[in-house]
Amino acid sequence: MIRKVVIFALTFSACGVFGQTPSSRPRFEAFEVATIKPVPTEAKAVRYITMQGANRFIEKDYTLKLLIAAAYNLNPKAISGGPEWMDSEHYDIAALTPGDIRPTRDEQMTMLRKLLTDRFQLAFHREPREFSIYALEVAKGGPKLREAAKPNDVPALINVVYPQSIKLPARNVTMGDFASMLQRAVLDRPVVDETGLTGKYDFDLEWAPDESEFNGAIAPASADANAAPLFTAIQQQLGLKLVATRGVVDALVVDKAQRPSAN
């Protein structure tokens, strides 16, 4: 029996989004109510952020550092400072969003940032720092991407775990979306989009994960897996490449954080 687990999702229903006037959408500034629950640390636990229905925001098994990375679109390595428990204690969050319209990802992250400030007393500053990064570039021969069939729809970018492989059916995404997902959820260093591609695209990517991906939460594929490693798969299937280099990233330095206030 094939096991499927969503590890990272950027997908939202178009229902209730298109056809709405700006004045009819709620102001997604904060969750209406949110429960934060400490959970036991498990090395191979499934981790995700998703929406259930129109207004139920669910986060499972994130540390505060990973929550910050999601909320501020960063690779965890670009986050420093703060208390030691920030990278070791894990939390589940269940929250309700305002109104009956499903918020976009940006709106979800706006509310998550507010929750981190209010409940974790998060305070930080930014400073440019040089890191080992991956540059996402166009490979020799050009990109193998399809223009989005429905460019006005909301994007869908979902990693699904199978035995021996990860499958990513991506729809209506930009290269910036793709690079952001790679750095937040998959790779162990920041990713910078240097493709120069400005459109929205549909593509399907399949690869065999290794121990450096998903922060160790996914078992690596065996040596005889049918799928290619990620770097090879991106070049063969998408006509893109990830180049290891160094670059300056606008890093986030935590000045203050406290364990979350009571629910």
Residues 155 and 93 in one domain: no
Q: Is residue 262 part of a domain?
A: no
Pull the structure tokens for residue 66. 């990973």
CA 247/CA 131 separation, integer angstroms: 6
CB atoms within 10 A of CB 2: 7
Residues 138 and 69 in one domain: no
CB atoms within 10 A of CB 227: 18
* E strand or H helix that includes residue 127: strand 123-138
Number of domains in the chain: 2
Residues 174 and 111 in one domain: no
Q: Is residue 165 part of a domain?
A: yes
Over its length of 263 residues, how does the chain's per-residue pLDDT go in tens digits? Answer: 333 334 444 433 333 343 444 457 888 999 999 999 999 976 566 788 989 999 999 999 999 999 999 999 999 999 999 999 999 999 999 999 999 899 988 899 999 999 999 999 999 999 999 999 999 999 999 999 999 999 888 788 888 889 899 999 999 999 999 999 999 889 999 999 999 999 999 999 999 999 989 877 788 999 999 999 999 999 999 999 999 999 999 999 999 999 998 77
Strand partners, 36: 93
Q: Is residue 144 part of a domain?
A: yes
Residues 91 and 18 in one domain: yes
Q: Which domain holds residue 214?
A: 129-248
Q: Is residue 258 part of a domain?
A: no
**Residue 19, pLDDT score:** 41
Residues 92 and 183 in one domain: no
**Residue 41, pLDDT score:** 79
- 60, 90, 124: which is the final residue of a domain? 124
Give DSSP secondary structure letters for 244-259.
Answer: EEEEEEEEEEEEE--P
- 124, 147, 166: which is the final residue of a domain? 124
Pull the structure tokens for residue 151. 């460019």
CA distances from 165 to 47, 180, 204, 210 (A): 17, 21, 13, 10
Residues 159 and 110 in one domain: no
Q: Is residue 256 part of a domain?
A: no
Residues 10 and 86 in one domain: yes
**Residue 5, pLDDT score:** 38
Residues 176 and 207 in one domain: yes
DSSP state of 55: T
- 124, 147, 182: which is the final residue of a domain? 124
**Residue 6, pLDDT score:** 40
Residues 214 and 116 in one domain: no
**Residue 44, pLDDT score:** 60
